[in-house]
Amino acid sequence: MDATWLTELAESPLVLPLLWLLTVADAFLVVVPSETAVVALAAASTSVGAPTLWLLVPTAAVGALCGDLACYALGRRVGLDRWEWQRRGRVAAAITRVRVAVDRRAAVLIFTARYIPFARIAVNLVAGASGLPLRRYVPLAASAGLAWAVYNTVVGATTGVVLAEHPVAAVAVSVVVAMTLGLAIDWAVRRAGSGR
């Protein structure tokens, strides 16, 4: 299969700004395929030579941090007790538990949630709403975003190297590998959380 179109797409000067935008948007919209984009671009980088591999990680990591910070700021602005229903009964008790969890285990929650779409939104909103200090939140979110960007880049780049002679297949296979690993991580986290 001709990979000319893939090379042209990967060499576009818009690729990295669009990747950054995708990773920012993914903080709010779980349907945005930022992980897939990072993996696919890393596979393209090692199989067709573009985009520049060493630029993928900081672009994705900074985009992830910007999106997470926006989510945190929204949580800070909205809060957890704005409406009456949040201050009563079971909802109030659940919010109290979440506040305590974020306060005691912020690092574990932020790092784990980075790989679970809906959990990432919830943890970042609650981190802001519960008053987790920004000076504590930013290093954790930045480290989690960096680890996520490195992980996805390594998955894509490895697949791109293995299938270097077949760039289109490298991109397709890297996405399948990343999705499979993501589902495995999600399953492991849920299983560990349920105590089984």
pLDDT of the residue at 54: 92
For 43-57, the pLDDT digits (tens) are 888 888 889 989 999
Query: Which of 127, 114, 115 minimizes the C-alpha distance to 71?
Result: 127
List the single range of 75-79, 81-85, 95-99, 147-151 with lowest mean pLDDT.
81-85
% of the chain beyond a pLDDT of 90: 30
Name residue 179's amino acid.
M
Give the whole-angstrom CA distance, residue 31 versus residue 23.
11
Distance spanning both ends of the chain, measured CA to CA? 46
Range of the structural domain that residue 161 is part of: 4-194
Instruction: Report the domain count for the chain.
Output: 1
Task: Determine contact, residues 128/76, Cβ cutoff 8 Å.
Answer: yes
- Binned at pLDDT 50, 70 and 90, residue 8 comes out as confident
Closest CA to 132 of 103, 157, 153: 103
pTM of the model: 0.80
pLDDT band at residue 82 under the 50/70/90 scheme: low
- Spatial contact of 56 and 13, defined as CB atoms under 8 Å apart: no
Which pLDDT value is given to residue 43?
86
